[in-house]
Structure 1
């Protein structure tokens, strides 16, 4: 596989582009994406066999089950980052090694039902929180030590809208290729 094909498999919807300027209409669209994600990921994965859950989404990538478990982990972290930014002045958040988390025993089990429940619960609460934010609150920030920069909640909302679609596309890709690359 050539580098361009590998890049397309890694980023099937393209890479995220930061929206440093955004409107409340943009934010509403991103919130809808976040709100719809639990139903979409559940629809794609709830009836998969153990074999299918173990299909890779690209060469040297994660399995479908690891993608589901990763979304639960990642979105829990993001939800907490929102709450920190809303209750503290530019808190420094705790980065984590998502690749290492994806190899832990709870991220490699074949049963994804607990992660789907986590996603459903987090997204319900996250959506309530997001829908309550004023434009001023969307400009509250947290500091990301790994990236060495402040990020506001509006930009982060955009990122997680993309993140939802990005990993849904990975799962669809794994299913289309039957995990064979």
Structure 2
């Protein structure tokens, strides 16, 4: 497999680019993506067998099962980061090692239904928070401890809309390649 082919499997919708500004329609579209992720994800995986769920979406990549559990883990962390940013002055967020989390037994072996249910409930709460942000709150920031980057709330909304589409593309592209 060529480096270009592997890159397309890793980043099927391209790399994320932080927006320098936003419009109301950009935010609405990103919130719509976040809101509907649980439904679209469920529709994408609901009929997959255990064998299919245990298929890697790319060489040295995660299985579909791990991707689903990762999305729940990642989105829980993101939701908490939003809440910190809305309630504290420029908090330094807590990071986690997503690769190690994806190697834990729950991510590698457990049924995906608990993560699908968690995502459904979480995204209902999360989108309610996002839909009620003020203009001032859109510009609140948190600090990432590793990069030192000050990330604005509107940037993080865009990042997580991309994250939803990024991992959905991993699953959908695999299903298409495998003729599922």
Deviation (angstroms), 1:110: 4.2
Residues 51-66 of structure 1 aligned to structure 2 (within 5 Å): 51-66=51-66
Deviation track 1:10-52 (CA, whole Å, cap 9, x = no partner) reads 0001111111211122111100000110000000112210001
User: Following superposition, which runs of at least 4 residues in structure 1 exceed 3 angstroms of deviation?
Assistant: none
Which residue matches 1:174?
174
Secondary structure at the counterpart of residue 73 of structure 2? helix
Cα distance in structure 2, aligned partners of 1:173 and 1:61: 14
Which residue matches 2:12?
12
Residues 96-135 of structure 1 aligned to structure 2 (within 5 Å): 96-135=96-135
Deviation (angstroms), 1:178: 2.9
Are 2:29 and 1:25 equivalent residues in the alignment?
no
Deviation (angstroms), 1:147: 1.8
Contact 1:55-1:178 within 8 A present in 2 as well: no
Which residue matches 2:36?
36
Secondary structure at the counterpart of residue 108 of structure 1? helix
Cα distance in structure 2, aligned partners of 1:110 and 1:81: 26
Contact 1:24-1:135 within 8 A present in 2 as well: no
Q: Between 17-26 and 91-100, report the one with greater CA deviation.
A: 17-26
Cα distance in structure 1, aligned partners of 2:150 and 2:130: 19
Secondary structure at the counterpart of residue 151 of structure 1? strand
Contact 1:52-1:178 within 8 A present in 2 as well: no
Residues 141-152 of structure 1 aligned to structure 2 (within 5 Å): 141-152=141-152
Q: TM-score, normalised by structure 2?
A: 0.97
C-alpha RMSD of the superposition: 1.1
Secondary structure at the counterpart of residue 103 of structure 2? coil
